[in-house]
Structure 1
Amino acid sequence: MPAERRSYSLLQWFFYFVNMFLVRVMWRAKLPDKLPIPDDQGAMLICNHRSSIDPCVIQVVAKRRLVHWLVAQLYKPGTFIARMLDVFEVISVRKGGNDVSPLRTAIRRASAGELVGMFPEGTINTTDDFMRAIRPGAVVVALRAKVPVLPCYLDGSPYHRIPWMPVFMLSRVKLTIGDPIDLSEYYGQERDSEVVNRLALMCVKEIAKLAGHDDFEPQIAGRGWKTWEKGEAEQPSDDKQEQQQD
């Protein structure tokens, strides 16, 4: 379903230009001109995760289309950062919670032709490994919403243990975006954990290829992961793994 064209609010426009300055000047980002999908097509964006500013870089390429990122709810409602996240219409996920509403929101937005973003690693990768073990929630959303997966690779994102500190850190960031991954052959199989895991690994391998790591073999996090069970209101049996998308 095509997305309804709507403009940013005044507050969103203000932060859009602030973000543009940071991405272009502070982080000197090298970016593609646009996303490789039609302007009215929904998609699930996935990316490696090295910094709290990763969504900011990708948003510049999305231009007037807001990317709704699934973000761990780490800040108390009403705080400055929590309000900032509300302005950008993120989909908050309570860590360790059993609430499946974030996934339902992601599916609804993607089905309506909007852009949804997830980091398969579920948290910022501070290790020496290319990527941490992944969670397959993004594939479940893509299958349910019947949208393609768009692999992205970010290199050079500045990291600091304090989430807002990278805003003040100079760097040289490069964003590479791959071709959309068509999962239409597997629509209706989102309850098959074997299929979902295999597709998740395939999609993350595409991120690795963008980085030049053709031999990288991603791993699924945890054991016994299952997708929605029949008769349980489409609730994932292991919500913690799906919902820790940061």
Structure 2
Amino acid sequence: MKFSIGGSLKLAFRPWVEGLEHIPAEGPAILASNHLSFSDSFFLPAVLDRKVTFIAKAEYFTSPGLKGKLTAAFFKGVGQLPVDRSGARGAGEAAIRSGIEVIERGELFGIYPEGTRSPDGRLYRGKPGGLARVALATGAPVIPVAMIDTEKIQPPGKVMPKLMRPGIRIGKPLDFSRYQGMDGDRFILRSVTDEVMYEIMKLSGQEYVDIYATAAKRQIAEAEKAAKAARTAGS
């Protein structure tokens, strides 16, 4: 199914790609990408010859009915791995364990260091838990990836995508093996994460914001709520 979905996406959207030579033909690697759209997890695997495993909400795999079964089959087909996110801390640990298992199988593991989609197209601070801990626990190289214009194809809240060409830039692998086994040191985790985010920023050309995307989303929601209250009061 991966190849049929990937072929359809490439035919319909014709994504351009730079840096494919940085993806190893075999062996494990972590693909660390910015996150602009729900469709990022589909476009990146579509342009690669190898399978990429991303983490997805377990609900995508357990919804009832025919629609639920079709959704589960689709996510499995594009290499998504279900993780129960019912508890924040437990979800993070489950994602890390899953990432390590993927790497230990010699496969490609995809992760979004920002932890959630960018609310405004800017690049936000990377969370030091998942990416850095998987990298330091396994010694696998980290390959920075920049998705370009995918937020214009399918903005948050929009169901139907717009037909246009997205882009993907793949950077040179980063070697953090010198820190292997130091995944319990929060300063090392922060340093590794920041280095990866800097490389993603160079590839994407995005403006960098040194706060977490989750905090930015809260600020935006609060501002919208305040603006709505002001309009209501003035009407």
TM-score by length of 2: 0.77
In terms of Rg, which structure is larger? 2
For residues 161-176 of structure 1, the aligned pairs below 5 Å read 161-162=156-157, 165-166=160-161, 169-176=162-169
CA distance in 2, matches of 1:183, 1:76: 34
Counterpart in 1 of 2:55? 70
Q: Aligned letter for 2:71? A: I
Q: How does 1:79-228 map to 2 (within 5 A)?
A: 79=68, 80-97=70-87, 98-99=90-91, 100-128=93-121, 130-136=122-128, 137-157=130-150, 158-162=153-157, 165-166=160-161, 169-212=162-205, 216=208, 218-219=210-211
**Corresponding residue number in structure 1 for 2:225:** none
Contact residue 61 and residue 75 of structure 2 kept, 8 A? no
| 1:113, distance to aligned residue in structure 2 (A) | 1.3
Alignment gaps of 5+ in structure 1: 1-11, 223-246
What secondary structure sits across from 2:62 in the alignment? coil
1:211 deviates by 2.1
Tell me which amino acid in the other structure corresponds to 2:82: S
Q: What per-residue deviation string (whole Å, max 9, x for no partner) do you get for residues 102-157 of structure 1?
A: 321210211221000011112221225x2233212111111112101000001111
Q: 1:201 to 1:151 in 2, by over 3 A?
A: same
Identity %: 26
- Counterpart position of 2:25: 39
- Pairwise CA distance, 1:27: 2.0
Distance 1:44 1:127, change over 3 A: same
Helix, strand or coil for the counterpart of 2:123?
coil
Give the conservation status (yes or no) of the 8 Å contact 1:201–1:219: no
TM-score using structure 1 length: 0.73
Q: Deviations for 1:65-96, whole angstroms, at most 9, x for unmatched residues?
A: 21000123343604122332123342223334
CA spacing shift, 1:217–1:67, aligned 2, 3 Å: same
Match of residue 47, structure 2, among 48, 56, 61: 61
Residue 16 (str. 1) matches residue 3 (str. 2): yes
Q: What is the match of residue 218 of structure 2? A: none
Gaps of 5+ in 2: 215-235
Q: Which amino acid counterpart does residue 126 of structure 2 have in structure 1? A: I
Distance 1:72 1:131 in 2: 23
Counterpart position of 1:225: none
Q: Is 2:15 the counterpart of 1:29?
A: yes
Taking structure 1 as reference, are residues 115 and 163 closer, same or farther at Cα in structure 2, changes over 3 Å only? farther
In the aligned structure 1, how far is the partner of 2:183 from the partner of 2:158? 34
RMSD after superposition: 2.5
Instruction: Compare the two structures and name the one with the higher helix fraction.
Output: 2
Provide the secondary structure at the position in 2 that maps to 1:59. helix
